[in-house]
Structure formats: C-alpha cells, structure tokens
C-alpha cells in the first residue's frame, strides 16, 4: 500500500515539475474544446451563387430577388456567358450557378414551362443537396405564387387536389445545432487523445531512460507498479474530464438533460478503458517512438474515424462495423449524446456502460499480466 502511495507521489511530482507537460496536459484540452467546438459546424449558412440571367425581365429579376431575400444565398457573381460559369465552377469559387433561360418571362406568361438550369459544384454532396433543397423550396413558392396569380387572372379556379406537406420535428436537438451533438463528441475525442497519449508513454519512458531497471530490481510487485502508474493518470484524466465538462456546459451552454453524476461515472469508466489501451501500448513498446507511432496510427486515428463521432457507423461496410465494436469511444459517444441530448439514463444505456466497464477492467488486467518484472 505504502509502496503504491510513494509511487503515486513520485509520478505527480514529476508531472508537476515538467512545466511544458503541464501546459499541454491541461491547456490543450481547454483550448481544443473551445476552438474546435466552434469550428464543428455543418450548417450551410452561406451559399455562394452565380446568376446568369439570359432573360433580364421583370419576372426574372423578381425571381432572383427571392434568392436574395432568403438569406442563404450570396449572389457573388453576375455573368453573361457560359464560359464564365464553367470557370467559376471549376475553380470552386461558386457553389451553384443559376441559369435563367432567354424566354423565361414569355413562357410563364404563356403558361408554358420554363426550364431552369442549376449547376452545382457537387464535390461536397451534402452541401450541394442542401442547397438544392433550398432552391427547390424557393422555386416551389415562386411557382405557387405564379399559379395562384394565374388563377386569379383568368378568373377560373384551378382546383388543385389536397396537398401534402411534411412537418419535420427533430427530437433532442430541435434547432439542429451542429454544436449540440458535435461538442460532446469532441469532448470524447479530446479525453481519448489525452489519456492514451499520456499513458502510452508512461512505462516506456522509464524503460528508455533507464529508471525502469532500478525499479524492477526492488521487491516492488507487478501490480504495485502498474497501479502506481495508473492511479496518478486516472487522477489527471479525471481532472481533464471535469474541466472539459465544465467548458461544455458553461462555455457552450449545452444543457445536460440527463443525470450528471451518471455522466461522470461513465466518463471515468471511459478514461479507465483508454488507460488500459495506453498501458498495453506502453508495455509492448521498446522505445518511446514506437509507443507514439503505435498509439497514433493503430489506436487514435482509427478511433477518430470509426467511433461514430462524425461519420455514422451505420454507413460503414459490415466488416468495418465489426471493428468498431472494440472501440471504447464508440460506446462513450452513444452514452454521452444519450445523456446530454436525450436525457436517457442507465436503463437505456446499461449495455454500453457494462461494455465500457468490461473493457476497462479487462484491458488493465491483461496489460498488467503481460508486464513482467524481467527484461529481455
């Protein structure tokens, strides 16, 4: 017991002394969460638009005004030939080019259909289809306006059938603010990265510097050494956790709908499972460089992409989905978003919680067993 205690003191002293490490350990998560929290935004607010008005009539200008007024479309370019349209699209300077045909007004007045070409810079399919959605909305409203006008002019009532309109209600995140579901995700990422990168260097560092040899000569037991390394990092992880939670709720104003204590508890389990992974890396690496490479390429990057943070797991090929089952972050993100946005609790999240718990304990035990007090 005393041994472990001494060990913890030593580790904490070493951390305290290393100013640069302290700065990185505690400042980095804060800065990252704040900056990245603001950055992670999928909302399409500005659509750079090019207008090629071949008609130049009252009707066409009226139509164009609809786009102006919508607030989404920024009419950057007015061109008068196709080449410029092509150029702008090729250079990615505009997202959509709206081409109003020459006899737009004439056709509408004759109750004929006017074709409206819309060319999209389609690289970002998501953005393009959202833009299309807006354009469809504007076009439909404009059309309806024309049709109702037409009705009145002729005096006949063209009775349309009943119409169907969709009413979409988004649960848990009604304003569909990207931030609300991204910030918890980023929180999970930051927690994962700090814990794993710290822990993966923990044991290897002593091996490389040479102090590990001095340690394994002593009667210190395997588990004492492991716990001695683990507990200080758990404490550090917990402090980082609390800090980022505070930022999420106070700075970003994201309200935790569910039980905060349960959130802290599951976060702790998450930290433990990451420490287990880091510990494993630390015990199998001979040099710090190896530990670094292994943790970044074999662990952290896959976790970022496959955890469901930004890319939905349901969209991944089956094979890849199987890989995601061993990623603790995957479960934590479900839990995190569930508690924060949905307000659900243990009854709905018991499986994920259990898995995190199992992973954490399992990894820790496995890594400690692997770590032998011998060198080879």
Does 344 bind another protein (CB under 8 A)? Our answer is yes
Q: Give 261 or 314: the residue with its C-beta nearer to another protein.
A: 314
Rounded to 5 degrees, what are φ and ψ at 289? -60, -40
d(CA 339, CA 264) in angstroms, rounded, equals: 11
Q: Give 245 or 291: the residue with its C-beta nearer to another protein.
A: 291
Binding mask 276-305 for another protein (x = CB under 8 A): ------------xxx-xxx-xxx-xxx-xx
User: Please, what's the b/e burial string for 284-311 (b: 16 or more CB within 10 A of its CB; e: otherwise)?
Assistant: bbeebeebbebbeeebbebbbebbbbee
Does 44 bind another protein (CB under 8 A)? Our answer is yes
Q: Give 5 or 78: the residue with its C-beta nearer to another protein.
A: 5
Residues from 350 through 369 that contact another protein (CB under 8 A): none
Q: Give 8 or 269: the residue with its C-beta nearer to another protein.
A: 8
Q: How far is CA 212 from CA 59, 87, 225, in A?
A: 81, 63, 10
d(CA 114, CA 133) in angstroms, rounded, equals: 19
Radius of gyration of the chain (CA): 29
> Which among 172-180, 262-270, 272-280, 363-371 is the span making contact with another protein, rule CB under 8 A?
172-180
d(CA 130, CA 206) in angstroms, rounded, equals: 53
First CA to last CA distance, the chain: 28
Does 54 bind another protein (CB under 8 A)? Our answer is no
> Which among 2-10, 260-268, 276-284, 360-368 is the span making contact with another protein, rule CB under 8 A?
2-10
Write down how long the chain is. Answer: 376
Residues from 187 through 206 that contact another protein (CB under 8 A): 189-190, 193, 197-198, 201, 205
Does 210 bind another protein (CB under 8 A)? Our answer is yes
Which tokens belong to 30?
């804060």
Residues from 214 through 253 that contact another protein (CB under 8 A): 214-221
Total residues at interface with another protein (CB under 8 A):
142
Does 261 bind another protein (CB under 8 A)? Our answer is no
| Structure-token match 């395997």, residue found | 222
> Would you say 257 and 340 are in contact if contact means Cβ atoms under 8 Å apart?
yes
Does 332 bind another protein (CB under 8 A)? Our answer is no
Q: Give 154 or 362: the residue with its C-beta nearer to another protein.
A: 154
Which tokens belong to 266?
């599951």
> Would you say 72 and 44 are in contact if contact means Cβ atoms under 8 Å apart?
yes
Q: Give 287 or 362: the residue with its C-beta nearer to another protein.
A: 287
Binding mask 66-105 for another protein (x = CB under 8 A): -----------------------xxxx-------------
Give the pairing type, strands 96-100 and 47-53: parallel
Q: Provide the minimum distance between the beta carbon of 361 and another protein in the complex, in angstroms, as a whole number.
A: 25
Q: Provide the minimum distance between the beta carbon of 77 and another protein in the complex, in angstroms, as a whole number.
A: 15
Given 54, 57, 70, 139, the residue binding another protein (CB under 8 A): 139
Contacting residues for 47 by C-beta, under 8 A, at least 6 apart = 72, 73, 74, 95, 96, 131, 134
């Amino acid at each position: 017991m005393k041994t472990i205690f001494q060990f913890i003191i030593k580790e904490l002293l070493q951390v305290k002394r290393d100013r640069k490490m302290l700065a990185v350990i505690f400042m980095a998560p804060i800065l990252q969460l704040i900056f990245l929290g603001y950055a992670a935004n999928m909302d399409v607010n500005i659509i750079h638009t090019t207008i090629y008005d071949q008609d130049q009539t009252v009707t066409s200008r009226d139509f164009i005004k609809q786009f102006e007024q919508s607030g989404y479309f920024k009419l950057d370019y007015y061109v008068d030939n196709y080449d410029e349209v092509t150029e702008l699209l090729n250079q990615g300077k505009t997202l959509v080019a709206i081409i109003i045909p020459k006899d737009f007004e004439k056709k509408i007045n004759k109750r004929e259909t006017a074709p409206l070409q819309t060319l999209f810079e389609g690289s970002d399919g998501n953005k393009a289809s959202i833009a299309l959605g807006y354009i469809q909305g504007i076009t439909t409203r404009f059309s309806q306006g024309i049709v109702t006008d037409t009705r009145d002019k002729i005096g006949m009532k063209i009775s349309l059938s009943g119409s169907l309109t969709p009413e979409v209600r988004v649960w848990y995140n009604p304003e569909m603010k990207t931030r609300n579901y991204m910030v918890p995700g980023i929180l999970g990422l930051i927690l994962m990265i700090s814990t794993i990168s710290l822990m993966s260097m923990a044991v290897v560092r002593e091996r490389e510097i040479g102090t590990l040899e001095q340690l394994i000569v002593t009667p210190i037991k395997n588990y004492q050494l492991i716990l001695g390394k683990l507990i200080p990092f758990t404490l550090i992880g917990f402090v980082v956790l609390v800090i980022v939670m505070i930022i999420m709720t106070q700075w970003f104003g994201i309200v935790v709908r569910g039980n905060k204590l349960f959130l802290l508890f599951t976060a702790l389990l998450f930290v433990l499972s990451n420490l287990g992974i880091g510990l494993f890396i630390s015990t199998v690496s001979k040099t710090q460089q190896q530990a670094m490479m292994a943790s970044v390429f074999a662990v952290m990057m896959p976790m970022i992409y496959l955890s469901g943070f930004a890319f939905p797991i349901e969209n991944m090929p089956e094979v890849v989905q199987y890989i995601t089952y061993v990623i603790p972050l995957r479960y934590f993100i479900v839990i995190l978003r569930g508690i924060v946005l949905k307000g659900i609790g243990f009854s709905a999240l018991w499986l994920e919680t259990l898995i995190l718990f199992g992973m954490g304990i399992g990894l820790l035990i496995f890594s400690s067993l692997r770590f032998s007090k011998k060198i080879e």
